[in-house]
Amino acid sequence: MTDRNFRAILTGSFSTPCADNPTVAMMEAAYAHDGIDARYVNCDVKAENLEGAVKGALAMEWVGFNCSLPHKVEVIKYLDEVAESASIIGAVNCVSIRDGKLTGNNTDGKGFLASLKKVTDPSGKKILLLGAGGAARAIAVELGLAGAKHITIANRKPEKAEAIAELIRKNTKSEAKAVAWSGDIAVPEGTDVVINATSIGLGDKEALPPVDLGTLSQGVVVADVIPNPPATKFLREAKSRDCITLDGLGMLVNQGVIGAELWLGRKLNEDAMVNTLQEIFGVSSD
């Protein structure tokens, strides 16, 4: 007889398409680094199969899973509870399973916030947020809950930006307003943090969101949610103007760290995750 345990802890992700999602490599590297017998299964789940996938995870006693497009809203109907910020955002990307109960969280904004706090505390800060998609919405809510003084949301379709601004005003103590983004947007004087929450720059190291770079002041924190390439042109331009820059790798890593804490009750090694992503994206550690 043997006392060895051959049963691994099960985690994973439900999305479609899923083949280009590097989270599985990042998470399993961290599991291995910390000696945790766990697996992260990257599952291609079509919209019509989401309910079955959720029931399957519950039946097989997974401890949790991530949800990406197109499931972040639809998954809510299959959960027992939704955390405050996820409820405000109206989207869930991380589900934990404990004692047969499914609880939804949103780690998009939380991951960004954890990354941002390493360079500045958003409390009392004036922030310019570029974009009004799902990532922008999650980030705005977390910034509002963290006590940001004022958030300006810029978008080509101002009504989408206004929807986020109204969400912030209604659910947090932060001031918020929407502005139409046409041409090169100027960074308002007194802005402390500028965040590119658009997809501009994803997979294209020369793509640049239309921003009047001359209005970036020295010492302003400029962040990008794009993880690949980490050093986007927007960040390179900001760094050349003596801004403090923050790349999207940190957001992705912190999402994994927060998710694992919800699932396993412990913090995973960030360096193992960062090193794995840098290897995948072909970037150096400096």
* Active site residues per annotation: 72
Place of tokens 């706090």: 117
Residue 233 and residue 238: Cα distance in Å, rounded?
A: 8
Report strand pairing: 94-98 vs 101-105: antiparallel
Question: What DSSP assignment string belongs to 39-107?
Answer: EEEEEE--GGGHHHHHHHHHHTT-SEEEE-TT-TTGGGGG-SEE-HHHHHHT---EEEEETTEEEEE-H
Residue 123 and residue 151: Cα distance in Å, rounded?
A: 11
Tokens of 134: 């799902």
